[in-house]
Amino acid sequence: MELTIIIPCHNEERTLATLLDAVIAAPAPIPKQVIVVDDGSTDGTARILDGYARKGRITAIRHPRNRGKGAAVRTGIEAATGDIVLIQDADLEYDPRRYPDLLAPILAGKAEVVFGSRFLATGVRRVPAFWHMLVNRGLTLASNVLTGLGLTDMETCHKVFRREIVQGIRLREERFGIEPELTARIAAIPGIRVYEVAIPYEPRTHAEGKRIGVRDGIRALWCIVRCNVIDRLFRRNPWTWERLEGLRARWEDRRILNEITEEVDLVR
């Protein structure tokens, strides 16, 4: 068996090398494949990744423009070849040394999916910002009501899946909405077994580089409703669903065309 670790990153020059060293050195009961998706970074991130890739320590994939965390996660999932897939942020908030605990339920045959929870008791911890914690708990509650799961931390980055499970679900979120979308798609699989494992968490502030904001919280709430209510209603009528998907694809094509046109205008 093999573990694929997916690391989406964007402008993480300050923490990336430290994080990669920690991931490569982290204990794991099975061999590791490390895939880093550079989501259009404009700092020294690409240079750092090139150095590690040349030594064969990681596989680096680059998006030519910044598309969002969700897009980077999706790219990593598509490229994964390991039997188990684990998502790891490129900052230093999540500790790679907890990989054995996160993998244990899957390796023991007890689960297909594991969430690392920042809100289960873990002993000593850095106190997070009140409003950040409140929003996380609120989004988790909303997700639980609609998915039927009893999670304590839906928004956690540390999610682990059997590869055939995560590659078999349809994802389309571009930004931080990927977390509720992953959760909703997993919860919809009949008989899926989901475990939670307590993990330590070192939250960073916006001054330290945290990027998630109010807009992302609103988008996450919309994703919870869309994935768990709207999508299910439309799927009951295949013609309506296909028409909706066609409209969405046309809108996406037009949005990309507009972005290309804007870039050409800037060059001119």
How far is the C-alpha of 41 from the C-alpha of 38, rounded, in Å? 6
Mean pLDDT of the chain: 87
Residue 100 pLDDT: 97
Sort strands 84-87 and 159-162 into parallel, antiparallel or unpaired. Answer: antiparallel
Q: Are residues 134 and 145 in the same domain?
A: yes
Number of domains in the chain: 2
For residue 17, the domain's CATH number is 3.90.550.10
Q: Are residues 241 and 231 in the same domain?
A: no
Q: Is pLDDT of 219 > 90?
A: no
Q: Are residues 17 and 91 in the same domain?
A: yes
Q: Are residues 163 and 251 in the same domain?
A: no
For residue 200, with 0-12 CB atoms within 10 Å meaning exposed, 13-18 middle and 19 or more buried, which class applies?
middle
Q: Are residues 245 and 220 in the same domain?
A: no
Q: Are residues 156 and 258 in the same domain?
A: no
Q: Are residues 246 and 187 in the same domain?
A: no
Q: Are residues 250 and 126 in the same domain?
A: no
Q: Are residues 40 and 83 in the same domain?
A: yes
List the single range of 4-8, 97-101, 126-130, 209-213 with lowest mean pLDDT: 209-213
Q: Are residues 91 and 162 in the same domain?
A: yes
% of the chain beyond a pLDDT of 90 = 66
Q: Which domain holds residue 10?
A: 3-235
Residue scoring higher pLDDT (81 or 123): 81
Q: Is pLDDT of 238 > 50?
A: no
Q: Are residues 23 and 83 in the same domain?
A: yes
Write down the pTM of the prediction: 0.83
Q: What is the largest CA-CA distance in the chain?
A: 59
Query: Averaged over 101-123, what is the pLDDT?
Result: 92
How far is the C-alpha of 152 from the C-alpha of 119, rounded, in Å? 6
Q: Are residues 265 and 136 in the same domain?
A: no
Q: What are the residues whose beta carbons fall under 8 Å from the beta carbon of 140, sequence distance 6 or more?
A: 151, 152, 153, 154, 155
pLDDT tens string 1-40: 999 999 999 999 999 999 999 999 999 999 999 999 999 9
Dig out the tokens for 180 from the structure: 């509720």
How far is the C-alpha of 70 from the C-alpha of 177, rounded, in Å? 7
